[in-house]
Amino acid sequence: MTVAAALPSPLLLVDAGTSAGAAWAEALEAAGYAVQRAATVSDAIQRTMDTTFCAAVVELALPGESGLSVVTHFASDERGAPVLVLADERVVELLDAGAGDVVARATPLPELVARVRRCVQAAERLQRLALERDQLKALSTTDGLTQLANHRAFQERLREEFRRAQRYDDPMALILMDVDHFKAINDTHGHLAGDEVLQRVAQALRSAVRETDFVARYGGEEFGVLLPKTHLAGALTVAERMSQALKAARAGADGAIRVTASFGVSGFPGRGVTTAEQLLKTADEALYRSKREGRNKISLFQSSLFVAQSG
């Protein structure tokens, strides 16, 4: 089976349509670049709306306008394609505007191609580094077993959402959930079965929340769910939905393992909840009340009073 090589991204050449522009295009095509030519700033910018370019080569002096607008457009584009400008003046201004390189219009064609290649390679290295950074960040904030956010990511998001709720005077709620009798599951069915239970729990929780909610494995068999712009009544509804989703989940051989959980719910604004840490503490207290009172329950923390409900 033959696998076709991926075609390289095209290169945008913005020039005044002179014989020099034709020579630049021919040299760049001979070097392996698929060149698209534009004669005006508006045409160049329009082409970027539909096409991702590996780089742009821009002649500064265009008929009746300046290629500087193309430079600033590319500099503001998050895709980060480099721009090489053909100009005999305003070098510092062009570099400050975001040009990757500035060369004289009379630069020999082999040098021009080499400079374009260098700009493209530098941009590709930066893109690879950015991708590796994002992958490392994802690994550092994701729980490997459940693929949910981990404890570190939960703490960061909790502080972020709490600051947002305070700033805009929005409600928010927090649900902490602990799988009932998880140690007995491990002891009876083995740790592999225990891991499967946690994976089924993660799937059930994801299915019971909105896209704007944030689900994390808080630690061990404990999970946390952040509910932005949600009052306690809404959080209780979500907790009940989560409880039912867990009861429908099955794990182990022939689905022999059934799962229940204990829940603690707290919200902001509320008496005694003026910080993210207090929101977490009150939800934790509500969770432990559910566990003390027999598990498989949902407990709300309201104004220092608990309201327990059977799960």
The catalytic position among 26, 221, 222, 240 is 221
221 a catalytic residue: yes
Task: Note the residue count of the chain.
Answer: 311
User: CA-to-CA distance for 260 and 297, rounded, in angstroms?
Assistant: 9
User: CA-to-CA distance for 71 and 60, rounded, in angstroms?
Assistant: 9
Specify the DSSP class assigned to residue 67: T
Provide the residue type at 142 as one letter: T
Residue 72 exposure: Cα atoms within 13 Å on the Cβ side: 8
Q: Are 176 and 223 within 8 A, CB to CB?
A: yes
CA distances to 185, 249, 257, 287 from 197, in Å: 9, 9, 8, 20
Q: Phi and psi dihedrals of 31, rounded to 5?
A: -85, 0
Catalytic residue set? 221
